[in-house]
Amino acid sequence: MEIINSCKINRLVELIGNSSRPVIVTHLKPDGDAMGSSIAMYHFLAMSGKKEARIVINDRYPKYLEFLFGEDTRKAIAIHSENAGEAAMAIQESDLIICLDFNAFHRTENLCIYLQESKAAKVLIDHHLNPDSESFDLVFSMTEVSSASELLYHVLMAMPLTGGDPATLPSEATAALMTGMTTDTNNFGNSVYPSTLKMASELLRAGVDRDAILNSIYNQHSENRLRLMGHMMKDLLKITDDGVAYIVLDKKTQDAYHIEEGDTEGFVNMPLSIANVKMSLLLKEDGDRIRVSIRSKRGTSANRCARLFFNGGGHENAAGGRLLIPENVASIEGAAEYIETYTHRYFTEGYED
């Protein structure tokens, strides 16, 4: 794989070798790929003798990812929303910061300031468009991969310590990598490359229990989640004349169904199954902001729409962002009109070219 050139690998070996307190950071609202890549990196650092490694995140990962954690990884995590001092100090004391699955510091929300202030060496391993390469000493950035977990897998396999054999990694690490790739591809539904299948094949050969992973990811949800999905698709889904499907999920509805973080994962993809839908948006009220998930079919850029109108970005066909209250909309009630107005502009004013 071209991007994983040996100079960069040598530099990474050197940076890890010279560090005594490495810290792993990933994006806010961490998903399967964010946590999967972070946990795999943590185990690699431990294998490299870096027993002091920490994983620092802005806010807690969803419950369904709990199966990825062993005793060591659970102890290594610092969560800013639960213990701000511990998270800040871990970054301040760190001499190597490895950033996974995001392209710019602001994607870590409250950790951003500590990352900016830190003089530690910084490494980026990411698969999003438009990485802020200037902020890093070493960048592994590639968009033609399924996930940060996949890119990290290729990086780890190029490291002398593994010698290209995934069986040298502990089973927690290989399960974490398989999980991150599986959630970011929607279980091989999108963003699958030859290198993705190669990784999956090698991980299976190394003994990863994919059935157990699938069971943990997809078969452990609450009854409420499925009922909410029914309500969303039947009663809340709107489709515009431009082929934009959208759902606005207010706080009241989330509470009525006792929805937890991660419960609506994947719902935004469903309206793309409709023939004339080009793009699908899911908006979730979240305190003083509305979180936006965008998915698009080939030929329509979710990334561009997110960057232009939703204060975000991401990948070509899977992106996200936010609407701020009151800067963008007065309240959640204004979200539908905002979407209709700006997606109509997106499809009629030449932004697609």
Question: Which residues contact Mn ion by CB under 5 A?
Answer: 33, 101, 147-148, 184
The residue (of 73 and 103) whose beta carbon lies closer to ligand 5GP is 103
**Least separation in angstroms between CB 112 and ligand 5GP:** 12
Which residue in the shown chain puts its C-beta closest to ligand 5GP? Answer: 320
Pairing relation of β-strands 238-239 and 138-141? unpaired
- Give the nearest distance from C-beta 70 to ligand 5GP in angstroms: 25
CB of 195 to Mn ion, least distance (A): 15
Rounded to a whole number of angstroms, the minimum distance from the CB of residue 124 to Mn ion is 13
CB of 171 to ligand 5GP, least distance (A): 26
User: Between residue 271 and residue 330, which ones bind ligand 5GP under the rule CB under 6 A?
Assistant: 293, 312-315, 318-321
96 binds, among Mn ion, ligand 5GP, none (CB under 5 to 8 A by kind): none
Among 19, 37, 94, 103, binds ligand 5GP (CB under 6 A): 103
Q: State the binding partner of 313 from Mn ion, ligand 5GP, none, CB within 5 to 8 A by kind.
A: ligand 5GP
- Closest to Mn ion by CB, 101 or 263: 101
C-alpha span between 313 and 111 (Å, rounded): 19
Q: How far apart are CA 128 and CA 143, in angstroms?
A: 6
Instruction: Please identify, using beta-carbon distances, which residue of 68 and 329 lies nearer to Mn ion.
Output: 68
Report cis status (omega within 30 of 0) of the bond before 326: yes
Tell me whether residue 243 or residue 321 sits nearer to ligand 5GP (CB atom): 321
- For residues 73 and 183, which CB has a smaller minimum distance to ligand 5GP in the complex? 183
Alpha carbon separation from 40 to 44, 100, 196, 326 (Å, rounded)? 6, 11, 16, 39
Q: CB of residue 351 vs ligand 5GP: minimum separation in angstroms?
A: 17
From the number of C-beta atoms within 10 Å of its C-beta (0-12, 13-18, 19+), residue 207 rates as: exposed
Note whether 128 binds ligand 5GP by CB under 6 A: yes
With CB under 5 to 8 Å by kind, the binding choice for 318 among Mn ion, ligand 5GP, none is ligand 5GP
Nearer to Mn ion, 174 or 183 (CB): 183
Give the integer Cα–Cα distance in Å for 179 and 216: 10
Size of interface with ligand 5GP, in residues (CB under 6 A): 13
Q: Least distance from C-beta 40 to Mn ion, angstroms? A: 13
Distance of CA 241 to the CA centre of its chain: 31
Residues 129-188 that bind ligand 5GP (CB under 6 A): none
To ligand 5GP, the closest distance from the beta carbon of 204 in angstroms equals 24
- The 106-125 site mask, x for binding ligand 5GP (CB under 6 A), equals -x------------------
Which residues of the chain form contacts with ligand 5GP (CB under 6 A)? 27, 103, 107, 128, 293, 312-315, 318-321
